[in-house]
């Protein structure tokens, strides 16, 4: 590991450790301010954004699944529709 070449005065190290202990003592006394509650309009906006994202993903899935079908499955489906139409014409 890398070692420092210049000497560090002991008083400086002692003061740094003392300041750290003092900072720890005061840090526990400080409490953050309470969080503000979001307004109704902000909650409604977040909800609408979430619903828009979920709706977009669901729509992409709904419209994307038929495009991802294999050609054999589409041909079989078209063939059964054609046979059904032929039976209706008779």
Mapped onto helix, strand or coil, the DSSP state of residue 36 is coil
Instruction: Report residue 48: phi and psi, to 5°.
Output: -65, -40
Cβ-proximal residues to 46 (8 Å cutoff; 6+ apart), any chain: 38
The pLDDT, as a whole number, for residue 68 is 83
Q: Is the full-model pTM beyond 0.85?
A: no
Q: Which two tokens stand for residue 47?
A: 């909800």
Mapped onto helix, strand or coil, the DSSP state of residue 65 is helix
> What is the C-alpha to C-alpha distance for residues 19 and 29, in angstroms, rounded to an integer?
16
Is 72 or 35 the better-scoring residue by pLDDT? 35
> What is the C-alpha to C-alpha distance for residues 65 and 77, in angstroms, rounded to an integer?
15
């Amino acid at each position: 590991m890398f070692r420092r070449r210049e000497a560090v005065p002991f008083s400086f190290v002692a003061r740094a450790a003392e300041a750290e202990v003092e900072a720890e003592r005061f840090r526990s006394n400080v409490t953050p301010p309470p969080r503000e509650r979001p307004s109704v309009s902000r909650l409604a906006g977040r909800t609408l954004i979430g619903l828009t994202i979920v709706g977009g993903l669901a729509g992409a899935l709904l419209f994307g699944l038929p495009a991802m079908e294999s050609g054999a499955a589409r041909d079989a489906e078209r063939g059964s529709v054609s046979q059904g139409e032929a039976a209706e014409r008779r």
